[in-house]
Amino acid sequence: MPRWLPRAMVLALVLVGLFQLADWAFHQLIDLFVMLLVSFFLSLALEPAVDRMAARGVRRGVGTFLVFIAVAIAVGGFLTALGTLLVDQVGKIAGDLPHLLDNLIGWVNRTFNQELSLDELQKKLLKDSGAIESYAQSAADNVWGVSSTLIGGLFQAFTVGLFTFYFTADGPRVRRTVCSMLPPAKQTEVLRAWEIALAKTGGYLYSRALLAVASAFAHWVMFALLDLPYAAAQAVWVGVMSQFVPTIGTYLAGALPVLVALTTDEPVDALWVLVFVVVYQQIENYLLHPRITAKTVDVHPAVAFGSVIAGAALLGGVGALIAIPAAATLQGFVGTYVRRYEVTDPRIDRGEQRRQRRELRREAARRLRRMVGGDSDRK
C-alpha cells in the first residue's frame, strides 16, 4: 500500500464528515437564516424614516421605537377592523342558518323529488353521535396542533421584530462592521449597493402604503354611499390586501365587499361594488400608480409576477412577500452598474416601421392630390 493512501483516505473521510456536518447545521439553521433575511428587508424599509428622524436630532434607538409603534398601531387597527367584520358576518350567518337550511331542503325536495325535513336531519345527526364525537375529538387534537403552530408563529414574529429593531437602530454600525472587513475599493461598492437597496426597498413599500391609503379612502366613500355594513373596515381590507398581497391581492380585496353586499337587503349593491372595484383598479393602474412610483421605484408587472413565483418556490409565503422588494433592489442595482447603449436600428420595432411606411404613403397620396387639383385649376 502506498504511504499516501491512508492519509488520503483519512482526509476524504474528514471532508465527507465536515460536509455532512455543514449540511446538517444548514438545515437546522435555515429558519434562522430566513428570519434574518426578512428582518434585513424590513430594516431596509424602516431605516429611511429613522434616518430622517435622526437628522432632526432624535436618537436612532428612540426613532426606531417610534416607527415600530406606528407600524404596530397600523397593523393592530387593520386586524381589529378585520376581526370585527369577521365576527359580525359569522354571527349573522349563524343567525340565518335555520332559514338557509329550510331553503336548501326545499330546493333539494323540489329538484330531486325528495321528502326531507329538518327534524329528520336532526334525528339522523343525533343517531350518528359517535361519528360526531370522533370528529370532535379529532378537532380537539387539531386545536392543540393549531395552538402550537400559533405559539411558534408568535415566537418567530418576535424574533423577526427583535432583529429588525437591531438592524434598523444600528444600521450605521452594521455597515461599518461589514466594511471594516473589506479593502477601501470594495467598501465603496458595498456602500453604493446598500444605498440602492435602501432607496428601492423603502421607496417600494412607501409607495404601496400611499396607494393603500388612497384605495381605502376611495372605497370607504363608495361603501358609505351604498350604506354597506362596516364600510371603514371593508375599505381598509381592500386597501391593504390590494397593495401588499402579490398577484392575487386585488381579487381577494374585491371578493369580500361583494360577498358582504350580497347579504344586505339590496343585493344589487354587489354589482355596484364590483363595478367600482374594477373602475378604480383601472384608475390606479393608469393614473395613480405611475405618478407615485415614478418618484419611488417602478417594477414592471411581468418582473413582479415572475419574482413572486420565484420567491414562493424558494421560500414559500415569506419569499412571495419579499420577492418584489428584492426584485426592485436588483433592478436598481443592474440599472446602476450595467451600461446601456442607444438602439437606432429601425428593425427593432417592426410595427413602427409599418406605421412610418403608411404615413409616407399617405403623405405621397396627399401631395399627388394637391398636384392634380392644382393642374385642374390652371386648366
Q: If you ran DSSP here, which 8-state letter would residue 58 be given?
A: -
- 336 against 364, higher pLDDT: 364
Report the SS3 class of residue 1: coil
Task: Give the Cα separation of 167 and 157 in Å (integer).
Answer: 15
Terminal CA-CA length for the chain = 115
Mean pLDDT of 168-174: 86
Of 91-100, 251-260, 323-332, highest mean pLDDT: 251-260
Mean pLDDT of 117-126: 65
* Cα atoms in the Cβ-side hemisphere of radius 13 Å centred on 72: 10
Q: Does residue 201 contact residue 193 with C-beta atoms inside 8 Å?
A: no
pLDDT digits (tens, 9 = 90+) for 177-213: 888 888 887 888 788 878 877 777 777 777 888 888 8
Exposed, middle or buried, 234 (CB in 10 Å: 0-12/13-18/19+)? buried
Output the average pLDDT for the chain.
Answer: 77
For residue 301, pLDDT over 80 is answered with: no
Percent pLDDT > 90 in the chain is 4
pTM above 0.75, yes or no: no
pLDDT band at 127 (very low <50, low <70, confident <90, very high): low
- Torsion, Cα 228 232 235 237, to 10 degrees, reads -110
For residue 16, pLDDT over 90 is answered with: yes
pLDDT of residue 22: 92
- 133 against 235, higher pLDDT: 235
pLDDT digits (tens, 9 = 90+) for 74-114: 888 777 877 776 677 666 666 666 666 677 677 777 777 77
pLDDT band at 346 (very low <50, low <70, confident <90, very high): low
For residue 18, pLDDT over 90 is answered with: yes
Exposed, middle or buried, 66 (CB in 10 Å: 0-12/13-18/19+)? middle
For residue 21, pLDDT over 90 is answered with: yes
pLDDT of residue 13: 92
Mean pLDDT of 23-49: 85
| Angle of the 269-283 helix axis to the 249-262 helix axis, nearest 10 | 160
For residue 361, pLDDT over 60 is answered with: yes
Lowest mean pLDDT, pick from 31-40, 173-182, 220-229, 319-328: 319-328
Task: Give the Cα separation of 367 and 259 in Å (integer).
Answer: 62
The DSSP annotation for 226-237 comes to TT-TTHHHHHHH
Lowest mean pLDDT, pick from 66-75, 166-175, 332-341: 332-341
